[in-house]
Amino acid sequence: MFPATTDPAADRARYDRATAHLDAPLAIVDLAAFDANAADLVRRAGGKPVRVASKSVRCRALLERALARDGFAGVMSFTLAESLWLARSGFTDVLLAYPSVDRAGYAELASDPESASAVTVMVDDPAQLELIDAARAGGREEIRVCLELDASLRLFGGRVRVGARRSPLHSPARLAELARAVTRRPGFRLVGLMAYEGHIAGVGDAPAGRPLRAAGVRLMQSVARRELAERRAAAVRAVRAIAPELEFVNGGGTGSVQHTAAEEVVTEVAAGSGLLMPRLFDHYTSFSGRPAALFAQPVVRRPGVGVVTVLGGGYPASGPAGRDRLPVPYLPTGLRYDPQEGPGEVQTPLLGSAAGDLLIGDKVWFRHAKAGELCERFEALHLVEGDRVVATVPTYRGEGRTFL
């Protein structure tokens, strides 16, 4: 359960000391763990730049901290409003990784030279180009465009597919067709290609206690990696023939950094979750990070022997609903949910051996299942160095920015 690099009891003592003057609920980021995770992502990228995925961070100070390191370059954003906000606040290379239909956002983008040179938008359908043109409202700035290739694996003549339903453009020929449409259209510049292999980057290949699933995942991922590497190379060749000035080819995510970076045609990899290391990234053979983001809930009552109740705690993550989407009680070790209640809207009973030693007012530390969504629950992150809070920085929510 615990990554080998941490000493849970010592970490708990540090976090309790650092936040002794603060009331829970609160969220912290352990800067030593964050920095170690960032260094490991750069190592795994083998010399190719890492573009930081903002959806998995959702805090400008932490985006800046990652980007200040050698080996990181650019932000991968998740909405157009966010992209414009980041561009206005000084981020100069923002790749919006998801198609947008934000008309007001496009009008702003097309009329502001600085934003237009900083932000690249995602397109996988001619209808999106039409929408942007209709929305630009006279704005004359050239719109930087990235095309998305579908990274999913299709087997048995397409009857079985593995991977996220994202772009409709699966074949290099389809991608090239849209590349041609972009390059022929005034007001647009084709600058990038992206393919995100979520079934490799976001699926752990070492699920605890499930050897059969592990074997299945590894087999699927090795087939998918090989298939995608060939198709991605062909797609890049086809698009470069149409748009030789292509600036970047982005791929991958936290779980696939070294594999994706090893493909010659890939010029940069994306990663965000690996900085904060939420629980969904615990079970990979190719890397292990240190939990860097935690939240604390206070013990507010003791309903009986072997049980304490903390305030709040029910912060499930997005995705297919299941136990793995729940936060986990992390420190002290030896706490678990009451199966009848789980983590609750306003209170969460916790069972287990550690409950007996917890007093009213003590903090219980949790890990979220995903990285960025934690920041939608807290206005600030307390940055911990050793056993001190060295800074308190706003999350997106704390800046009044709830994009999704």
Ligand X SMILES: Cc1ncc(COP(=O)(O)O)c(C=O)c1O
Beta strands 293-304 and 26-30 are: antiparallel
Instruction: Please give the Cα distance from 58 to 403 (Å, whole number).
Output: 10
Q: Nearest distance from residue 71's CB to ligand X, in Å?
A: 15
Task: Round to whole Å and give the CA distance between 362 and 343.
Answer: 18
Which residue's Cβ lies closest to ligand X? Answer: 253
Is 271 a binding residue for ligand X by CB under 6 A? The answer is: yes
CB of 157 to ligand X, least distance (A): 27
What is the phi/psi pair of residue 190, to 5°?
Answer: -80, 115
Q: Which is nearer to ligand X, 271 or 380 (CB)?
A: 271
Q: Which of 105, 272, 278, 327 binds ligand X (CB under 6 A)?
A: 272
- Name residues contacting ligand X, limited to 34-53 (CB under 6 A): 53
Tokens encoding 219: 């087999």
Count the site residues for ligand X by CB under 6 A: 16
- Is 202 a residue that touches ligand X (CB under 6 A)? yes
Least distance (Å) between residue 51 CB and ligand X: 8
The full 3-state SS of 143-177, as one line of letters, equals: EEEEEECCCCEEEHHHCEEECCCCCCCCCHHHHHH
How near is the Cβ of 293 to ligand X at its closest, in Å?
Answer: 12
Q: How far is the CB of 226 from ligand X (least distance, A)?
A: 20
Of 136-144, 180-188, 196-204, 315-323, the segment contacting ligand X by CB under 6 A is 196-204
Whose Cβ is closer to ligand X: residue 279's or residue 363's? 279
Under rule CB under 6 A, residue 94 binds ligand X: no
Span near ligand X by CB under 6 A; candidates 66-74, 149-157, 193-201, 292-300: 193-201
What residues are paired with 118 via a beta bridge?
none
Footprint on residues 282-341 left by ligand X (CB under 6 A): none
Q: Which of 188, 196, 337, 396 binds ligand X (CB under 6 A)?
A: 196
Please answer whether residues 76 and 109 qualify as being in contact, where contact means their C-beta atoms are separated by less than 8 angstroms: no
Provide, rounded to whole angstroms, the least separation between the CB of residue 141 and ligand X. Answer: 24
Which residues, 139 to 178, sit near ligand X by CB under 6 A?
none
What is the closest distance, in whole angstroms, from the C-beta atom of residue 330 to ligand X in the complex? 20
**Cβ contact 251:197 at 8 Å:** yes
The least CB distance from residue 45 to ligand X, in Å, is 12
Residue with smaller CB distance to ligand X, 179 or 276:
276
Of 24, 97, 350, 351, the one binding ligand X by CB under 6 A: 97
Q: CA-CA distance, 225 to 233, in Å (whole number)? A: 12
Chain residues binding ligand X by CB under 6 A are 53, 56, 76, 97, 196, 198, 201-202, 253-254, 270-274, 371
